[in-house]
Structure 1
Amino acid sequence: MTRISRLTMTALLSSTMLAAGITAATAATHPETGEELAADQTFTYRLLDDISSLDPQIVEDVDGSAVSRDLFEGLMNQDEQGNLEPGVATSYDVSDDKLTYTFHLRDTAVWSNGDPVTAGDFVFAWRRAVDPATASPYQWFMELMSINNAKAIVAGEKSPEELGVKAIDDHTFEVTLSQPLPYFVQMTTHSTTFPAPQKVVEEFGDAWTKPENIVSNGAYVLTEYRPGERIVRERNEKYWDNEHTILDKTVALVITDENVALTRYLAGELDRTDVPAGQFPRLKKEHPEEAISFPRLCNYYYTFNLSDSGPEAFKDPKVRQALSLAVDRDIIANNVKAGGEPPAYSFTPEAVAGFTPPQSEMASMTQAERDEKAKELLAEAGYGPENPLSFDVIYNTSEAHEKIAVVMTQMWKQKLGVQANLANMEWKVFLDTRGQQDFDLARGAWCGDYNEASTFLDLLQSDSGYNDGKYANAEYDKLLAEAKTAEDTTPLYTAAEEIIATDMPVIPIYHYAGVYMMDSDVGNWPTENVEQNWYSRNLYKLAE
């Protein structure tokens, strides 16, 4: 067994701070930086939509995952740079064949009701995640983790009890993989892998996450939830490292209009909000200390419905290529968004660790050349003035999404004579509609669940739970399967991106930047963590 000991460093640092008699919770100044702290340690931020769920095995959206990271704690966390640090597990061992991981859990971790957090809580949660009866939108993620028998359980061929997880004792959690996976431990920072309190789940069923019922083990507890309005989480006094938590309360307000949110931010009602599309240059001049932009591990794209229910026209790759070529990404990235987002000519962002996007033919062309090629391809596919192409486009309600959709459809109409009809939907309706393949062309976006190219490329595997367009290519699937155990994944990922560029099952538009208005009183926002896995316990409010 190979001991991984570097993960204990954070715990040692915490012990040193305690030994010095410094408790951040009561300090008037920050224990490390010496900055003066505000008396009111409340962080308030804006959400575009309500979150998908408070249940860690059910939640499927980025904002919901941020709430989950506050309420629950998994085996591992991330620091401000995105590096692994201890969560409930203080360390782990790996067998020589790289198939068995043994996590050693801290004996000071307890649930908010005082019960100890045990290895059995992880066994219960992981079995629950793969159980078809749970209908977790992320059960496919557990398959990607290569946990033994996960694939067969999700398919209904084996029982959840046969999953490759075991509680050796209350503080030893063992995981057996079906094949070595170099980034397996990175995946344990994802909310789907967080523990769940079995007796609470079984007592209350689907209602277990209501504020009056929920029991959690993270640095915060849920004190208020008004769907579509606000989510409040407050310090969990029973959290094992509560002494070093500074922020007392985090309030998320659902504000669907980004301009209204900006007005409320400028009025001092919010500590963070998204910058409306196109307004970053102005706001950076007017508020240089508060308007921020930094790389994020996310992509923005449109996906074709290639299932049997999709338009016949989209079955022809020439049509898909033509529509992609005609989209002027520079206009969308630089004029519509204008927040530092790079135009996308690959599905996987360049911000991914160890990944360099291959130079595609499209990326090397001028936009005029792309437009001319698009006209040729569409004509070859049989569409033109005599037989105009028409289809529907759906996106979830947001001014930015609407602007992008309008610009794209205008480009198609002016350049290709294509008629694209727009429809916007509330977030949960949109997710359901897209997930049921009840669309022609749909907006998509993905933020990496871990910092490795497969977190994006796996989305287009034929059996991926988030392959909403139902794209299927046997060679593509083979490349990604080989990459799971390859020492050098570069040629495999390059080949996979080249297939995407040829088949064009999606239209990459741009790669994300974190573009926020952030109150300068907010300390320690993790701008260097491209995954943007942030934890309220690491933030603090400075005195004005």
Structure 2
Amino acid sequence: MTIKATLRAGTAAVLVAALGSTAAIAQQTGPNGETLAENQTFTYRVLDEFPSIDPNLIEDVEGSNIGRNLFEGLMNQDETGEVVPGVATGYEVSDDGLTYTFTLRDDARWSNGEPVTASDFVYSWQRAADPATASEYQWYMGLMQIENVDAVIAGDMDPSELGVEATDDHTLTVTLSQPLPYFAQMVTHTTTFPVPQATIEEFGDSWTQPGNMVSNGAYVLADRVAQEYITLEKNPEYWDADNVYITEVTALIINDENQALTRWEAGELDRTDVPAGQFPQLQEEYGDEAVSVPQLCTYYYNVNLSDQGLEALDDQRVREALSLAIDRDIIVENVLAGGQRPAYTLTHWATAGFEAPEVEVAQMTQEERNERAKELMAEAGYGEDGEPLNLDILYNTSEAHQQVAVAVGQMWQQTLGVTTQLDNMEWQTFLNERHNLNYPAIARAGWCADYNEASSFLDIMDTNSSYNDSGFSNEEYDNLLTEAKTAEDPQPLYQQAEEIIVQEWPILPIYHYASVFMLDDTIKGWPLENAQENWYARQLYRVADE
């Protein structure tokens, strides 16, 4: 759209003048022979401030998007989600599946010009597993089944005993305690990215500030203003800088989805999320610029099963009734209307190799679910003819989350006589309160797969998972997940785990995500076939208006 390119032309001119000739400008053509725009910047909207951009501490999707552009791990993903070389040119696996040997490229550099070595990965992985780091993603290192990782996480062994070794500057050897067929997928995650030891030791917690940060990805941190924006610039030291077209990436923090859409329409943004319910109209108006594709994320409500939760929620019948009374079809078709699908299990339907079990609740009509919900609530002694029940629904500030909460509250009121109180918090406070189980009843959650395998969803409900924000603990469930890690075919075990969730209802799955957004038609290279929607700005480029 011409108006967008025109509005950003001033920024582009300043950038080109500052950086000089770039590959994108010099070549004048994109990877498929397209004529490139002079302006090679990308600006997008995010909902909230990033809790952290330190790879070992990142715990949210938007933080991961920033981390993936500032840093590069052993392996990357291509536009379809397949694993491809990153800092490592490749790897070998021992016959028993317990030893991975990664060969690092010799031209990988930190943004200060220093070489990236295998020792940088050793330091990062030890730091992530170290209890002193207090990473919310420490548990992820445990999922990787690295030798001695559980003892390191528990504080019983020194991080130096972790099963990762720099054989030489360009060889990283990882020893596992048991084979993991999807291990290579796991090292595309930000937690496993290298971090600069000298910089961290010099600046401490402030090492991620502009002017301090040293990174090894396609971009460097240029500027950041809390609650407003973060700006990245092309890293000239990146090993593949000659093939990076986008020279500047800016994420604008805009809490209001409708305001963000208005700014997209005005040409201030290249990408923004579609407000709930507006996709059909926007698709009609803007055509292919309105995008909806499957995304490996599930939206659900945590039920607080800890001592801090309501006594009524200890009753499985109450939890099941609450789940049954949610009309998911109304939520996905009328409230959201962006291609989402109803969820009755935790694992997203598009997850590779996964087939959801045929749970009874998914086969019922909504009328049948409502009748069963009324029976269960009456048996438990709550609802219209029993003890009054009022539930708080905690969610992070977002109009879409509010709309879903309002809809669910109305369904519970009309079907079960249960009243609700809505409680919203800003992102970081919300995360802290939910992690600490400091909510009385219900807390909104959304989980996106860290790798394309069912365990990435199911592991969050393990007793020891730091993202088990309902306080759920079931020995049979934990054993199934443990057994699945060494099973030749883990799918039947995953299905049994899903069935336990449906029997116990520690969470209330609501819908499986679609990624629904507006994308300027001059931006090319977005990975629409990557179900995790892990994007890299270095894969993007802007074409000239026709």
* TM-score, normalising length: structure 2: 0.95
The letter for the 1-side match of 2:264 is: Y
1:256 aligns with 2:255: yes
Q: Contact 1:25 / 1:244 at 8 angstroms: preserved in 2?
A: no
Query: Which residue does the alignment assign to 2:38?
Result: 39
Query: Which residue does the alignment assign to 1:373?
Result: 372
The letter for the 2-side match of 1:258 is: E
1:96-128 residue CA offsets vs partner (Å, 9 max, x unmatched): 111111110001001000110001000000000
Query: Which residue does the alignment assign to 2:16?
Result: none
Alignment of 1:479-518 (within 5 A): 479-518=480-519
Q: Contact 2:111 / 2:235 at 8 angstroms: preserved in 1?
A: yes
1:398-435 residue CA offsets vs partner (Å, 9 max, x unmatched): 00000000000111011101011110000000000000
1:124-178 residue CA offsets vs partner (Å, 9 max, x unmatched): 0000001111000100000000001111111111111110011101111111101
1:329-364 residue CA offsets vs partner (Å, 9 max, x unmatched): 000000000000011111111110000111111111
Query: What is the Cα deviation at residue 202 of structure 1?
Result: 0.6
Query: What is the Cα deviation at residue 25 of structure 1?
Result: 5.6
1:464-515 residue CA offsets vs partner (Å, 9 max, x unmatched): 1100111011111011000001111121011111111110110100000010
Alignment of 1:187-198 (within 5 A): 187-198=186-197
Hey, what's the Cα distance between the residues in 2 that align with 1:480 and 1:356? 16
Q: Contact 1:25 / 1:245 at 8 angstroms: preserved in 2?
A: no
Query: Which residue does the alignment assign to 1:389?
Result: 389
Alignment of 1:59-458 (within 5 A): 59-384=58-383, 385-439=385-439, 440-458=441-459
Query: What is the Cα deviation at residue 382 of structure 1?
Result: 1.3
The letter for the 2-side match of 1:91 is: G
Percent identity over paired residues? 60
**What secondary structure does 1:323 align onto?**
helix
Q: Contact 1:25 / 1:243 at 8 angstroms: preserved in 2?
A: no
Hey, what's the Cα distance between the residues in 2 that align with 1:419 and 1:327? 14
**What secondary structure does 2:512 align onto?**
strand
Hey, what's the Cα distance between the residues in 2 that align with 1:434 and 1:25? 47
**What secondary structure does 1:302 align onto?**
strand
Hey, what's the Cα distance between the residues in 2 that align with 1:47 and 1:24? 26
Hey, what's the Cα distance between the residues in 2 that align with 1:204 and 1:63? 24
- Which stretches in structure 2 are left out of the alignment for 5+ residues? 1-21
**What secondary structure does 1:189 align onto?**
coil
Hey, what's the Cα distance between the residues in 1 that align with 2:315 and 2:157? 38
Query: What is the Cα deviation at residue 270 of structure 1?
Result: 0.4
**What secondary structure does 1:182 align onto?**
coil
Query: Which residue does the alignment assign to 2:526?
Result: 525
1:235-279 residue CA offsets vs partner (Å, 9 max, x unmatched): 000000001001111110000000000000000000000000000
Query: What is the Cα deviation at residue 92 of structure 1?
Result: 0.7
Query: What is the Cα deviation at residue 24 of structure 1?
Result: 4.3
Query: Which residue does the alignment assign to 2:466?
Result: 465
The letter for the 2-side match of 1:473 is: N
**What secondary structure does 2:502 align onto?**
helix
**What secondary structure does 1:391 align onto?**
strand
Hey, what's the Cα distance between the residues in 1 that align with 2:313 and 2:150? 30
**What secondary structure does 1:81 align onto?**
coil
Query: What is the Cα deviation at residue 391 of structure 1?
Result: 2.0
The letter for the 1-side match of 2:405 is: A
Hey, what's the Cα distance between the residues in 2 that align with 1:182 and 1:227? 40
Query: What is the Cα deviation at residue 71 of structure 1?
Result: 0.3
1:203-257 residue CA offsets vs partner (Å, 9 max, x unmatched): 1100000011000000000000111100100100000000100111111000000
RMSD over equivalenced CA pairs, Å: 0.9
Query: Which residue does the alignment assign to 2:5?
Result: none
- Which stretches in structure 1 are left out of the alignment for 5+ residues? 1-21
1:48-69 residue CA offsets vs partner (Å, 9 max, x unmatched): 0011111000011100100000
Q: Contact 2:25 / 2:36 at 8 angstroms: preserved in 1?
A: no
